[in-house]
Each structure stands twice: as structure tokens, then as C-alpha cells.
């Protein structure tokens, strides 16, 4: 990209070199320099996302909610908490950590969308693994047909897939392999497996996580998260969805994961929301990511407040926002998410078409 992509280029209020809302002299520098979104932005190529019922509102809210939250977090990834305290994120931004335009989503969304498409086409683990290979080596399912962010554990696992290793054996199984790379993309399973027998639900969560992250801690984080998502989809309030998922995990997975329950003490206590902000870690360690996401989701009262709360923790801002934003998208629905953020998403039409097919496949 030879020059910065500014919102004005895609706004109905642009008139030649001028703006119908601002004069050249009064336009704020953050707009002229493509740093923060413009409050008057109105897309000249609007996407209308069809929501025909509450089920679609929740399912589309989950996917769009995760991808938008990812894009909101990308520009400030790796910033520390002091930096965020001094400059709170309250809007879509651009050209930060990775020098990417507005609405750019990361590997989190790329791999999540690979799962969305796999389910829409007819789920197989081999099909999902093939898409992961295409993502890494052919920049498949990326906003600009290039890969600008991918975790080391995920990259290693995808190389294992390409070498011919069975997909469910490709993820790392060591203690040091517990990044958040499977948690960030697992959400679409919630709607696909919700009516299956428990044994089948657990088997699918385990295999999908293990493609890139096979240690029991990573897998258990995915199980907890997916069951919270299922409960939210079923209409439970936030607290009940959280507590019910804890009860399910303790009653149905202890035979296999009980030795790892202590790692999730703060989550499984049912009291994660009571933590003070300085007690919440916002790193790429899967347990920290799950804790921070649940803490933000349970403590805030809207999609945007939830997402900005976790982004302003600093650290792994895109992934933690993606994980929290997926839950908030289910709970509050797509119709509560700022439409300008939908309009700013890169490849929004592709995402919408894919999510529509996904909705039809999980009904």
C-alpha cells in the first residue's frame, strides 16, 4: 500500500478534496492522519447484514463480534497497561502496531473464519487443517492477502500438517505450548455441536484445539469457553451461563482434566468477575486470556464497553478482545454493535456471505 488508506476515501461525505462535514482546516489531525475513526463516517459502500430472527442475531453477533473486536485490538497490540491508561482506546484505530488500515483483522479472525467456512461446507478435521495450511502458505482468509501476524505454536503446527502428520497430532503438547492460539478460534464450534451428545461435543472441541494446541490446559480452556458460549446462545444470563459451564466441566471432564483444574482456580471458582484490574493479566498465555476475557465480559454492560475494557488492559489486545467480543456478540447481539465498525471491516462482504452460509448450516 503506497499511502495510508483514510476513512474519507470510503465516506459518503467526501466531496473532491473536501468534506461536507469538515473544512480542510478544521478536520482533526487524527482523521487527516488516519489514526482514529471519524465520528461522521458513513460508508459509501454500505453492507446490510440481514438479521431475520434472534438466532441469527446471536450467531452473527458471535462471528462479527469476534472479528470486529480483533480489528479494534490490532492497532495497539503489545502496548502496556500504562500506555493504555494514558491513551484509552474508545474507537476504531488504524496504523498502529502492524501499520494496517482501519478494520484490519489478524490471524485470530483468519483461523476463526476458516472454522466458520469448514462448518458451513460440512465439518471435517482434515478440511479445517487444509484451510490452515492455505492460510499460512497462501494467505488464504486474510484481509489483504498477506499474513502479518501468526503465533509461533500455530505456525509450527501448520508446518506439521503440511508435512503429513495427522491433524489432531500436530499441536504442541508441552507446558510451554499453552498460548491462546486455539482458544481464539474455537467459538464457531458452539453453535455446531450444541445439540450433540456430550461425548461427541467434547471429542470435537478436543480435536479442533489439538490441531495447533494439544496440551490439556489449552484444550480445557476451549471446553470452558465453548460451554459458556452455548449457554449464552440458549438464552442464559451472563452469570448463569458462566456458573452452569463450570458445573458442566466439573461434572463431565474431571475423569480426564481434574489434574488441571487447579490451573483454572480463578475461573472455576465462579468469582472471576470480582478480581481487581491489577489482578488481571493480559498476556498470550491461554489461562490469562480466558480470565481477562471473562472478567471484561462479566463486568461490563454492552458489547463496546466489554471490548474496550479488555483492550485497555494492554498486552495481547487483539486476541483477548476477540475472545471477549465473541461472547459479547452472542449475548448482546449483532444489532447492538456499532454499524460503522461493521462497515469498516476489511473484506466485510466475504465475511457476511460466509457467515450467512454458516448460519444456515447450524440451524
The rounded radius of gyration (Å) of the Cα atoms in the chain is 20
- pLDDT of 163 strictly over 50: yes
Interatomic CA distance for residues 224 and 211, integer angstroms? 18
Give the model confidence (pLDDT) of 33-45 as tens digits: 889 999 999 999 9
Q: To the nearest 10°, report the CA torsion of 25, 28, 31, 32.
A: 40
Residue where the block lists cell 471519524: 38
C-alpha cell at 244: 452452569
Top pLDDT among 180 and 32 is at: 180
pLDDT for position 1: 45
Give the model confidence (pLDDT) of 1-33 as tens digits: 445 788 888 999 988 878 889 876 688 889 888
Give the model confidence (pLDDT) of 125-159 as tens digits: 999 999 999 999 999 999 999 998 899 999 999 99
Whole-number percent of the chain with pLDDT over 90: 91
The third-level CATH classification (topology) of the domain covering 52-361 is ADP-ribosylglycohydrolase fold (1.10.4080)
For residue 51, what are the β-bridge partners?
Answer: none
C-alpha cell at 12: 459518503
pLDDT for position 24: 63
- The CB density around residue 20, as the number of other CB atoms within 10 Å, is 10
Tell me the torsion sign for CA atoms 336, 62, 108, 88. positive
Residue where the block lists cell 465498525: 341
Give the model confidence (pLDDT) of 255-278 as tens digits: 999 999 999 999 999 999 999 999
Q: Where in the chain is the domain with CATH 1.10.4080.10?
A: 52-361
The predicted model gives 342-354 an average pLDDT of: 98
Interatomic CA distance for residues 325 and 329, integer angstroms? 6
Tell me the torsion sign for CA atoms 333, 337, 340, 342. negative
pTM more than 0.85 = yes
Among the residue ranges 8-22, 31-45, 63-77, 287-301, the one predicted with the least confidence is 8-22
At 362, is the pLDDT very low, low, confident or very high (cuts 50, 70, 90)? very high
pLDDT for position 243: 98
- pLDDT of 105 strictly over 60: yes
Give the distance from CA 356 to its chain's centroid: 18
Interatomic CA distance for residues 361 and 363, integer angstroms? 6
Between the two ends of the chain, the Cα-to-Cα distance in Å is 40
For residue 179, what are the β-bridge partners?
Answer: 285
Amino acid at each position: 500500500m503506497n499511502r495510508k488508506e483514510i476513512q474519507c476515501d470510503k465516506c459518503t461525505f467526501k466531496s473532491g478534496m473536501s468534506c461536507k462535514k469538515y473544512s480542510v482546516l478544521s478536520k482533526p489531525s487524527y482523521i487527516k492522519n488516519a489514526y482514529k475513526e471519524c465520528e461522521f463516517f458513513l460508508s459509501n459502500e454500505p453492507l446490510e447484514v440481514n438479521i431475520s430472527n434472534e438466532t441469527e442475531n446471536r450467531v452473527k453477533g458471535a462471528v462479527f463480534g469476534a472479528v470486529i473486536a480483533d480489528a479494534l485490538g490490532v492497532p495497539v497490540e503489545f502496548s502496556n497497561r500504562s500506555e493504555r491508561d494514558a491513551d484509552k482506546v474508545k474507537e476504531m484505530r488504524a496504523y498502529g502496531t502492524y501499520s494496517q488500515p482501519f478494520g484490519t483483522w489478524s490471524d485470530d479472525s483468519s483461523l476463526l473464519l476458516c472454522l466458520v467456512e469448514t462448518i458451513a461446507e460440512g465439518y471435517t478435521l482434515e478440511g479445517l487443517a487444509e484451510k490452515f495450511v492455505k492460510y499460512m502458505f497462501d494467505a488464504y482468509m486474510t484481509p489483504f492477502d498477506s499474513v502479518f501476524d501468526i503465533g509461533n505454536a500455530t505456525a509450527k503446527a501448520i508446518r506439521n500438517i503440511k508435512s503429513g502428520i495427522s491433524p489432531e497430532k500436530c499441536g504442541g503438547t508441552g507446558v510451554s505450548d499453552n498460548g491462546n492460539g486455539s482458544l481464539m478460534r474455537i467459538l464457531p464450534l458452539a453453535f455446531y455441536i450444541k445439540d450433540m451428545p456430550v461425548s461427541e461435543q467434547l471429542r470435537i472441541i478436543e480435536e479442533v484445539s489439538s490441531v495447533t494446541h494439544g496440551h490439556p490446559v489449552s484444550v480445557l480452556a476451549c471446553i470452558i469457553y465453548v460451554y459458556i458460549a452455548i449457554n449464552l446462545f440458549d438464552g442464559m444470563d451472563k452469570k448463569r451461563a458462566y456458573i452452569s459451564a463450570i458445573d458442566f466441566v466439573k461434572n463431565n471432564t474431571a475423569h480426564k482434566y481434574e489434574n488441571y483444574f487447579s490451573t483454572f482456580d480463578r475461573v472455576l471458582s465462579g468469582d472471576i468477575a470480582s478480581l481487581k484490574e491489577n489482578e488481571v493479566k493480559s498476556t498470550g498465555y491461554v489461562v490469562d486470556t480466558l480470565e481477562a476475557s471473562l472478567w471484561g465480559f462479566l463486568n461490563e454492560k454492552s458489547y463496546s464497553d466489554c471490548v474496550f475494557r479488555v483492550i485497555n488492559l494492554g498486552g495481547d489486545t487483539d486476541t483477548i478482545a476477540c475472545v471477549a467480543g465473541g461472547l459479547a456478540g452472542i449475548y448482546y447481539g449483532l444489532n447492538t454493535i456499532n454499524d460503522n465498525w461493521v462497515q469498516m471491516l476489511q473484506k466485510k462482504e466475504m465475511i457476511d456471505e460466509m457467515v450467512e452460509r454458516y448460519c444456515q448450516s447450524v440451524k
